[in-house]
Amino acid sequence: MLAGRLAAVEERIDRACRRAGRSRADVTLVAVTKTVNAEVAALMPALGVRDFGESRPQELWRKAAGLPVEVGWHLIGHLQRNKIERTVPLVQLVHAVDSVRLLHALEEDNQRDTIRVLLEVNASGEANKQGFAPDALPSLAADLAGLKRVRVEGLMTMAAYEEDAERCRPTFTLLRTLRDRLQTTIGDAHRLRHLSMGMSNDFEIAIEEGATLVRLGTVLFEGMEGTEP
């Protein structure tokens, strides 16, 4: 079942890349395992998927302990400062840095030479969403310039849920524009090569708008929720 689901998703990713004139190699599928247990997640590497996303640090710690080490973990949800120490050694990318305070706290963690992060942006402008407001980004330039250990590699957003995914397009276009502008503002202090955007409902539109990381849960794992935790 999982192999069939994945093949269908791969086909959709491929077609979206072709529509946009992009290379498939420029888009990474991050399998969001938050609704399934480690046994289901463990089936993915054999199918060619090695990037895994969890939204809660504690759940990431738990799953990472049960999966092979060649899996690359992405923390896609909020990171509390008191969870930095246990999380940093386990993850290859922190997607949702949403405050200067968190940036600085990550900078102070000395377990690794480099910590790769994305800045979460509330590009849909919803009141209940976390992330930097779009117009707060330019004022981050000085903070970003001072970072040595933390490497900011791009922006991340969640679009509002829309029945018609086409209506998510402006959110994704905005994130790309914000990334381009911020890159101009900060010069070569950080190379903002990533846009983490697109979920089960809207990933094809996100790819058309430049997503380099799509975070997919439901479309892969719906109905496979285990009895854990």
Ligand X SMILES: *Cc1c(COP(=O)(O)O)cnc(C)c1O
Q: Which residues bind ligand X (CB under 6 A)?
A: 32, 34, 55, 76-77, 158, 199-201, 215-219
Q: Are 34 and 64 in contact (CB under 8 A)?
A: no
In the complex with ligand X, the residue whose CB is nearer, 157 or 186, is: 157
Min CB(73)–ligand X separation in Å? 14
Q: Are 63 and 76 in contact (CB under 8 A)?
A: no
In the complex with ligand X, the residue whose CB is nearer, 120 or 208, is: 120
In the complex with ligand X, the residue whose CB is nearer, 33 or 105, is: 33
Min CB(221)–ligand X separation in Å? 8
In the complex with ligand X, the residue whose CB is nearer, 144 or 158, is: 158
Min CB(211)–ligand X separation in Å? 12
Residue 171 DSSP label: H
Q: Measured between alpha carbons, how far is 222 from 218 in angstroms, rounded to an integer?
A: 5
Tokens of 75: 């923390």
Q: Residue 132's beta-bridge partner residues?
A: 121
Min CB(81)–ligand X separation in Å? 19
Rg, Å, the chain Cα set: 17
| Length of the chain (residues) | 229
Position with the least CB separation from ligand X? 217
Counting other chains too, the contacts that 73-82 makes at CB distance below 8 Å and 24 or more residues apart are 74/30, 74/213, 74/215, 76/30, 76/32, 76/156, 76/196, 76/215, 78/130, 81/105
Min CB(183)–ligand X separation in Å? 23
In the complex with ligand X, the residue whose CB is nearer, 32 or 152, is: 32
